[in-house]
Chains A and B, each alone.
Chain A
């Protein structure tokens, strides 16, 4: 299995630009999580989906952030407009029906720098 695939791995953009991060979960996994990691705050849950439905988006910082999961094999996290304080590593993780204990499998992350 290819694991959780994220793109882009690195993005540098200017303040005000739209940023779209993409995630392909492991095939057959029914839960998908978006996290943000910064030095100051560590790993923070932004939003998670079960069966493509957003369950809890209370971690999404503000209206500039949005996430979609149009099907079981694809999710996006969008920031519009981006700000320098959004600079972080964004991780996507998936969890499957066959792992009732909830083991997470992480993508390699997307490092975002907003200038």
Chain B
């Protein structure tokens, strides 16, 4: 079993839909990191969180430390949100999930 599990692996949705991507981890962490990788390959940091919730524009990330679970939400999704979203468990090491490939249709 992977130490960081993401679901779903692939997600296709219509523009405007509310999107939820889940991340569960089995290791101890000091923080959880959400990353975005665009089709061009570059990786961008979205959120780093260790408790509660963070919001940036249409993106919201939440974490439940007791349940070892985090979610990334996208409100009013747009085709430019199409990317691979990766969560990573941060401690001394950094362990990545396999990513969720999101495709937003116009």
B is bound to A: yes
Interface set of A (CB-CB < 8 Å, partner B): 33, 35, 42-45, 48, 55-56, 89, 91, 93, 99, 101-106, 108-109, 111
Q: Which residue of A lies closest to B96 (CB)?
A: A43
Number of A-B contacts (CB under 8 A): 56
With A101-B31, A101-B50, A104-B33: A89-B41 Cβ-Cβ less than 8 Å:
yes
Q: Does B59 contact A (CB under 8 A)?
A: no
State A99–B88 Cα separation when bound (angstroms): 16
Contacts of B43 in A (CB 8 A): 91, 93, 106, 109
Is there an interface contact between B99 and A42, defined as CB atoms closer than 8 Å? yes
Contacts of A109 in B (CB 8 A): 41-43
Is there an interface contact between A103 and B41, defined as CB atoms closer than 8 Å? no
3 closest Cβ pairs, A-B complex: A106-B43, A43-B96, A42-B98
B39 to chain A, nearest CB (A): 13
Contacts of B64 in A (CB 8 A): none
A11 to chain B, nearest CB (A): 14
B85 to chain A, nearest CB (A): 12
Q: Which residue of A lies closest to B40 (CB)?
A: A108
Contacts of A101 in B (CB 8 A): 30-31, 48, 50, 90
